[in-house]
Structure 1
Amino acid sequence: MLELQLFLFFLLVCLLILHYLKQLWSIRHYPSGPLLLPGIGGLWRVATGVSHDTLIKLAKQYGNIYTIWAGPLPLVILSGFQAVKEGLINHSEASAERLETPFLRDALKNRGFVFANGHSLKQQRRFGLITLRKLGLGKKGMEQQIEVEAQQLVETLEHAKGQPLDPSLPITNSVCNVISVLAFGQRFSLEDEDFQKLVKAIYVLSKFGATFFQILYDAVPWLMKYLPGPHKKAFSCVEMARSFAKKEIERHKENQTLHEPQDFIDFYLVQMQKAENDPDSAYNDDNLAQCTIDLFAAGTETTATSLKWALLLMVTHQEIQDKVHKEIEDVFGSSRLICYQDRKKLPYISAVIHEIQRFKYIFFYGLARQTTKDVNMCGVHIPKGTIIVPDLRSVLLDSEHWETPEEFNPNHFLDKDGEFVAREEFLAFGAGARACIGEQLARIELFIFFTSLMRAFTFQLPAGVKELRQDPVMGIVTPPQPYKLCAIPQCTI
């Protein structure tokens, strides 16, 4: 009996080894990467410690195109400007689809315009671009709302009277109100419990992405569905956000403002009526709810995170803050409100804002794509259906294209005469067929909020604090660690 048990044991070991070798043979056409281990693939490199430069370090070891296996799922990482440009721009159509992982499929069901694909995505994205233009991006309507919220934020910080404060909540609330007016047609107060639950749900989801548990769910969804963990909280947050959006949709239907649409939901409901007899229409309540949440989530967490980094960097680089103050004083004095067109008069501030986005890129990596056909990227064969992850952080820190990539240096965006220079390598908003549809809104918000704050205050470290942490909180979005600063009112205001 013992001999039989030993024989069966060794037979099982041999079969497992053969299966592993077969798996290694089947993946030989993919770019090299971390050692593939049975069951978990290359996840051991992630599980042993993730930092904001993990993917960049892996690129130095395996090259600018490499593969990380999440169990049986290959993730091809594009690192550096040339590799990302090849994938997102030169092969834009072939890399236009988002990945369809088990978590995204179970959570979103191919709805919305951030993670959807196919016919539904084409309709939602086209509608989104057109509607954002109608709602006044680049025109005076939405810009005036941003100016109002910027002044509200200034007044909120003034109440601290120069004492130490955490600017995170005031910033998030102000940015939330801009996108709330755009999406829902109204501002929400800090006392609105349902709205605060929505904000918290978006925050939890932004922290769940790119974590070990999210990757583990995608690797073994059939097991994770029955196990407790952070993925359960993430699913409940998705449902909570969707429920909030549907309540707002019903409120819009009851108010019957469709003859004169005021916000994103109004315009979408009009489109649903127009397409109600179209059998190919993907305009429905479920897509509307997800599109609204996509718009809110993408428009809140991203811009707010950039502004949090902006104030932290101003505090830690006083010489740059002094130059910002001087340019504002030279151009405006204490006369009028600042508008987006004023950026043409403020080249140094434009350079500083771009450098903030470059130096402290707000995502762990760019949102993943999925190839629709076999492609050759930089001499590397990528099979159809492969998930490709454009590491946009590596583009913004690429030493071959930025003079001092590891330093906060606004001169990256200035010519020898001190004029602002747009850079091809600046891909903070992505590129290609799936570039951020809210890019223009984000640019207007960042300029008006940042310039309004810098015009009103000098930002300093609290007494006794020598420095602030520069390492981010890890997640899909990477905000700074919580910090406090002092907002000292400018004497000219």
Structure 2
Amino acid sequence: MLFVLSLILILMCLLYVHTSSKKPHNFPPGPFWYPFTGCIKELGEISRKLGGQHKAFNFMSKQYESNIIGLKLGNRKVVVVLSYPLVKQILCSEDYDGRPNDFFLRLRSMGQKIGITSADGELWLIQRTFVMKHMRQLGFGKETIERMVHEELEELLLTFEYSNKTAVQVGPILSMSVLSILWRLVAGSRLPKDDTRLQDMFKLLKIRQSAFDMAGGRLNMFPWLRFIAPEKTGYNLILRLNEQMRSFFQEIIDKHHEEWNPGRDDDVIHAFISHMKEGNDVHPSFTNDQLLMICIDIFIAGSHTVTYTLEFAFLMIILHPAIQKKIQTEIDNVFEEDHVITYSDRMKVPYVEAVIMEVKRFCHVTPITGPRRTLRDTVLDNYFIPKDTTVLISNYSVHMDKNIWGDPEVFRPERFLDENGKLVTSEKLIPFGLGRRRCPGESLARSYIFLIFVGVLRKYIITNAPNRPKPTGTPIPGITLIPEEYKVMLINRIQKKA
């Protein structure tokens, strides 16, 4: 009897080994699938060697001569798409609108697949529509946002002025500014300078990003590791951070509940609470947990990408001083000293806008986007993609495609200008995505980046801080690409002219 049971167990193990390493018929090409781990080892080795998963995927695309790569990471089937036509097809097709129902996304969303970023289906559609509607009412793309950005710009310029000719690290200052605007939209108030809540949130978000970078790998592929090595895998850290984030935002939400009165919608939280209390016809997804996760999603999505894009922009003009000079010459020639620059003025300074577009292309803050989940069996580039396959989108490969850009490895803003110096846009520049899941904060991000970039360069010449090594321009890899730490000197242009 024991022999029979042992034999059955061995056969079951052999069957599992066989099935776990067998690819579906006509699945996209890629590395060999080892039992239990799939392609994890090979992907990790290439990523470490080249400096990030985005480069590893690009390498595999050339290795297998395919713009779509098929992988298995742990027990998950994963497809990576690397060319613009395929990326556009993914982003614009409802077949790929899902989010993976995996451990990582649930952990990110406090154990539930809620919010906006991690949600899909009816929940995602209803909640995204609601948030977008009220963001527009609160000023997205209107004068309200520009007024808020100009107020933050004044604070930034004052901070730089108080630096008193000392070296300044711009990243943390920009982060506080971005978080301040998001706070005003979500919570409806502007925090005093001496209020430490935004600083506390910035620290939490920064630690959380590093933790989730760690969790998105081993812990997502092998969730059972949390029982064996909860500290080493980052699981306990994430639980602690989740609880801190929950406590942070729940305090704000509770205060809004106390101050609420019928019909109040002067910020996102009050608008959500008003909708919750409308009556029996309210969709069941309008809960306090959902509101909490929406707040967290807005702050996470908005703070990192906008801050890092601006950090990269200032880094690029330090590394390319001739570009900085051309920007300032154009600003001086177009705008009078007392002119209040608006976002609509961007078309008057095409070179400035071309520089910003080139930063988004060249620095690719989010090199890999997604993850998406196939909602049904489908075919992509003549390959079979089974239902519930995780799909990753390589913005990096699109933005570094020689067939599109010619010399993508060169930082050259002129690629977005015609022979007459007029701006030339390209549908292949996709920092905010495409389709129904296009970034909901795109208009705020565009306005903020343009107005802050122009406002700072209008007043200051920015150079690398003395006695510090020149930055390399090489980003730090992770879920997002982070600029290397650098410090600058800010030289007042008006005082210099005087």
Q: Same fold (TM over 0.5)?
A: yes
Among 357, 360, 364, the alignment partner of 2:363 is 360
Pair 1:179-2:182 in alignment? yes
The 1:225/1:264 distance shift into structure 2, 3 A limit, reads farther
SS in 1 for 2:369: coil
**Equivalent-residue separation in structure 1 for 2:208 and 2:29 (angstroms):** 31
Contact 1:103–1:214 under 8 Å retained in 2 = yes
Contact 2:377–2:386 under 8 Å retained in 1 = yes
C-alpha displacement of 1:187: 2.8
**Equivalent-residue separation in structure 2 for 1:451 and 1:233 (angstroms):** 39
**Equivalent-residue separation in structure 1 for 2:282 and 2:316 (angstroms):** 52
Task: Write the mapping of 1:320-359 to structure 2, written as runs, cut at 5 A.
Answer: 320-359=323-362
Among 66, 84, 88, the alignment partner of 1:85 is 88
Amino acid at match of 2:272: Y
Partner of 1:415: 418
Partner of 1:262: 266
**Equivalent-residue separation in structure 2 for 1:466 and 1:224 (angstroms):** 41
C-alpha displacement of 1:300: 1.1
Contact 1:183–1:296 under 8 Å retained in 2 = no
Partner of 2:22: 25
C-alpha displacement of 1:216: 1.5
Task: Write the mapping of 1:140-179 to structure 2, written as runs, cut at 5 A.
Answer: 140-179=143-182
- Cα deviation 1:140-181 (Å, max 9, x = unaligned): 112100111012111111222333221111111111111111
The 1:482/1:285 distance shift into structure 2, 3 A limit, reads same
Pair 1:371-2:385 in alignment? no
Partner of 1:272: 276
Task: Write the mapping of 1:434-453 to structure 2, written as runs, cut at 5 A.
Answer: 434-453=437-456
**Equivalent-residue separation in structure 2 for 1:306 and 1:258 (angstroms):** 39
**Equivalent-residue separation in structure 2 for 1:235 and 1:58 (angstroms):** 35
Partner of 1:296: 299
Partner of 2:217: 215
Partner of 1:101: 102
Partner of 1:188: 191
Contact 1:162–1:489 under 8 Å retained in 2 = no
Contact 2:212–2:238 under 8 Å retained in 1 = no
**Equivalent-residue separation in structure 2 for 1:325 and 1:238 (angstroms):** 44
Pair 1:238-2:242 in alignment? yes
- Cα deviation 1:186-205 (Å, max 9, x = unaligned): 23356544443322222223
Partner of 1:204: 207
Pair 1:35-2:37 in alignment? no
- Cα deviation 1:345-391 (Å, max 9, x = unaligned): 11111111111111111124112100111221122211111110011
C-alpha displacement of 1:273: 1.6
Cα root mean square deviation, aligned: 2.3
Contact 1:459–1:486 under 8 Å retained in 2 = yes
Contact 2:28–2:68 under 8 Å retained in 1 = yes
**Equivalent-residue separation in structure 1 for 2:133 and 2:282 (angstroms):** 22
Partner of 1:56: 58
Instruction: List runs of 5+ in structure 2 lacking aligned partners.
Output: none
Among 482, 485, 490, the alignment partner of 2:488 is 485
The 1:190/1:361 distance shift into structure 2, 3 A limit, reads farther
The 1:479/1:189 distance shift into structure 2, 3 A limit, reads farther
- Cα deviation 1:193-242 (Å, max 9, x = unaligned): 4443322222223223444x422212221332452232321232222212
Partner of 2:255: 251
Contact 2:176–2:198 under 8 Å retained in 1 = no
Contact 1:246–1:289 under 8 Å retained in 2 = yes
Among 42, 47, 50, the alignment partner of 1:45 is 42
The 1:68/1:19 distance shift into structure 2, 3 A limit, reads same
Bigger shift: residues 53-62 or 407-416:
53-62
TM-score, reference length from structure 2: 0.91
Pair 1:380-2:394 in alignment? no
Contact 1:258–1:267 under 8 Å retained in 2 = no
Amino acid at match of 2:407: T
Partner of 2:129: 126
C-alpha displacement of 1:10: 11
Amino acid at match of 2:411: F
Contact 1:97–1:371 under 8 Å retained in 2 = yes
Bigger shift: residues 102-111 or 92-101:
102-111
Amino acid at match of 1:398: D
Amino acid at match of 2:31: P
**Equivalent-residue separation in structure 2 for 1:14 and 1:260 (angstroms):** 65
**Equivalent-residue separation in structure 2 for 1:126 and 1:195 (angstroms):** 27
**Equivalent-residue separation in structure 2 for 1:320 and 1:271 (angstroms):** 49
Amino acid at match of 1:103: F
**Equivalent-residue separation in structure 2 for 1:350 and 1:231 (angstroms):** 42
- Cα deviation 1:112-152 (Å, max 9, x = unaligned): 11111122111110101111110111111121001110121
C-alpha displacement of 1:11: 11
C-alpha displacement of 1:27: 3.4
- Cα deviation 1:364-419 (Å, max 9, x = unaligned): 41121001112211222111111100111211111111122111111221112111
The 1:277/1:470 distance shift into structure 2, 3 A limit, reads same
C-alpha displacement of 1:38: 2.3
Amino acid at match of 1:115: S
Bigger shift: residues 366-375 or 161-170:
161-170
- Cα deviation 1:5-59 (Å, max 9, x = unaligned): 9xx9999888755543333335344212122222221111333244242222222
**Equivalent-residue separation in structure 2 for 1:439 and 1:264 (angstroms):** 17
SS in 1 for 2:338: coil
Bigger shift: residues 372-381 or 187-196:
187-196
Partner of 1:138: 141
TM-score, reference length from structure 1: 0.92
